[in-house]
Every structure is written in structure tokens, then in C-alpha cells.
Amino acid sequence: MDKKIKVGIIGLGTVGSGVLKTLKNFDNIEIVKIAVRDINKPRDIVGLDKSLLTDNAYEVAENPEIDIVAELIGGIEPALSIIKRAIECGKHIVTANKELLAKRGEELFTFAEQHNKVILYEAAIAGGIPLIMPIKTILAGNKINKIEAIVNGTTNYILTKMDMQGASYDDVLKEAQELGYAEADPTGDVEGFDAAYKIATLATITFRKRIRIENIYREGITKIRAQDMKAANDLGYKIKLIASGKIDEDGNADVRVHPMLVSKKATLAHIDYVTNAVTLTGSPVGCITLSGPGAGEFPTASSVVGDILAIVSELGSTDYILPMMRCKHDDFAHMIDISETKNKYYLSIHANNNMGVIGKIGTICAENNISLASIVQKCVSEDNTAEITVITEIASESAMQNAIKLIENDGSKVESLIRVQV
């Protein structure tokens, strides 16, 4: 196109700064306005034209010159209201807002379609990893029925350091905060909220059915112990926070986020530190893994700018741009509750070193239709207690939870329960 496409940016934090710096390399794009919280805040951006800045985001949303708005502030409000206003004013949207998409995606995509505008969101799930567009285009001929993903760099960094150093969760979290890998309040990451937002949207587009965020089982990494890391390694596994999804032929979806023992033979076991990876399984492609930087200024900016350029390439050529990228999922998946699932399990049990204690654990499991793959007793302490590690075969979640109650009623303590990759 001969004329420059006008872009507005809302948010000039880490990602917004990367987007601004990257877009300067494109002669056919002009940044018209940038909304920030504090105009006078010092910014490490060479040549920043401060006349572009405003502390009123609606000046971006309503500016008649602007064709595309990049929303990079996160959260539900004011992001939702600003995006809706921008759409009403004729703008296409690019966003990295995983929480907004997970909680209000249906409303937002419906609103955009009513106004014949597109919302692109490549950066909202796995930072710089090309994921959404490949699924919507190159992989469109596949029926993908399984997702396993590491999509949170903070938790992956913490678990990797715990594994490498044999350190406690608390010690590694403190180090991660000092290095800037974890927020002062890390709850969104370490309790699995961030990963849950991402798998909600990823599973929706992959399974082609809407996934409700409130039905996703979520469990964080705060209870993982250094002892669990060592035991997992001894058994041939690594512990990772996995966002997963499965869907059967009847449209029943099992979508969840929780720590998992991943076999060292699997690709995800070797995704370390802040790297992200997504493994998709389906037909006819089989199993593929996409991996790369899941966060950061320029990796995330790469995805945002890619979405902007995808819109730019279509403007003026059709009245209905990027039809393959639009959301057309009207049906909701039937979500399976975690209590209805079947899994393999790792248990770490603190028990009195009495004669027959292992036999009692085995009997309780057998009475609940749980077969044991292995059971190992280690570390008899001075107080005559022992650590017992159990790996089960596939068993129902409800049976496992009942067995835990019976084991603890018998005087032992289940220190850890972690599901095992199947």
C-alpha cells in the first residue's frame, strides 16, 4: 500500500516499548498516539517523541486517523472498555491480554464480528512463539485432540533452579524476584493463574470449542519440595508446571494446569528456565512441539508486530479481512471435572517406620482399585519415621483422593501428590 497505516499503542511498558522500537523499522507504518499512565516517567527509548504520549487511552481509541490499536496494558478493565470503544470507532485490535481473552473472550470476539473488525492475539499465549496463526492456517486441516504446554516462564525458571540446585521453593522464589523473573507478588504465576488464562484460549482455538476459564482445574507450584525434585529425578522424571488439554470424540474436554512428573524421554522435560514450549498431538500431523522465548520485550513484541503486519497486508484489499483468523466457535465444550479424570500419581508419604507400613499402604490402594508401579522406602530418621515414595498406575482421581484420606487416617502424612504424565 502507498499510504502509511496509522497505529495507536495503549501501554508503553516492557512489551509496548519493544513494539514501538520494532515498528520504527517499517516505513509503511506510522505511530500516531501512545497512551501511558504517566507522561513524565523516564523511558529508555531513544528518540521517543513525547508529543505522541497521552494519559487518556480514549484519545487512542477514538482517534479517527488510527487504523489499528495495540492494547498492551493487561487486565480486564479499563482494557475491555477501551478495546470496545476502539472497535466502535473502526479500529482493528492487536492484544497480548491473556486474562481478558480467557474471561471475556466470547463477548469481545462477538462484539468485534458485529463491527466487522478483527482481534489478533498471537502474543497472549506463548510470547514470541508462533502459535495461533500456525494453528489457524497451516494446521487447520488437523484434528488436534491433545495439548501439553509450558507457558509460564517464571514457574519454569523456579522449578529448573530447584532441580539444578536442590534448593527450596522459597529460596529460589526470592532469587527469582531479585533477578526480576518473578513479581513482588508472584501469585498470578506461581499459583497457575497465568497458565490457566493461556490454556483457556489455546484450547478454545485448538479444539474449536469454547473453554470456560472457571471450569479449568488449577494448581500451582508452591507445595513442590526439594525432596520431590530429587525423588522425581531418581525415578526418571522432571517436575514441570504443565497446562494441558484433551478432548474426546464426543466433545468432552479435560483442561487443567498443575505440576506434573514428565518423563526425561519427553521433550517438555528439557524445556528449562524461562523458555516456553507447546506440544500438540493430532491427525494427520502426529505430535509437534513449538518452543522458544515465552516472554520479554522483543520476543513478545515480535508476535504483536507480526499481528499488526498481518492486518496491514489486508487493509484496502477486502471488506472482510483475515477470515481464517476470526473466532467462529459458538459451541461450549463439556468440561470434565478433575474428580472424574484418571491419572498416574506420585505420592511422597511420611510414615512411622513400623512393621507392615508399606503393606498397609498397598492394601489401601488395592481396596481403591489403585495398582502400584513402584513403592520405595528411604531415609529412616532418628525419630523412626521414613519417607515412602509411591508411583501408581492409572487410577481414578476420586479413588486416589479417598486412598489419601485412609492413609492419613492410619497415621501417615501424604506430603506431596503430583500427577504423572501419561
Question: DSSP letters along 141-173, please?
Answer: T-EEEEEEEE--HHHHHHHHHHHHH---HHHHH
Report the CATH number of the 5-125+297-325 domain: 3.40.50.720
Q: CATH assignment of 132-293?
A: 3.30.360.10
Q: Which three cell numbers stand for residue 4?
A: 502509511
Of all helices (H) and strands (E), which one includes residue 255? strand 252-263
Residue pair 187/152 in contact by the 8 Å Cβ criterion: no
pTM to 2 decimal places: 0.95
What CATH code is assigned to 339-420?
A: 3.30.70.260
Which of 91, 198, 209, 344 is an active site residue? 198
Q: Where are the domains of the chain?
A: 5-125+297-325, 132-293, 339-420
Sign of the dihedral through C-alpha 21, 45, 299, 126: negative
pLDDT mean by block of 10 residues, the chain; 422 residues: 87 96 95 96 91 98 98 97 98 98 96 97 95 95 97 96 96 92 94 98 95 97 97 96 96 97 97 96 97 92 97 94 86 95 97 88 97 87 86 98 96 96 94
Q: Is 198 a catalytic residue?
A: yes
CA angle (186 as vertex; 256, 289 as ends), nearest 5: 45
On whether the CB atoms of residues 242 and 149 are closer than 8 A, the answer is yes
Number of Cβ within a 10 Å radius of residue 272? 16
The contacts of residue 201 (CB under 8 Å, 6+ apart) are 98, 101, 102, 105, 121, 124, 125
Residues in the chain: 422
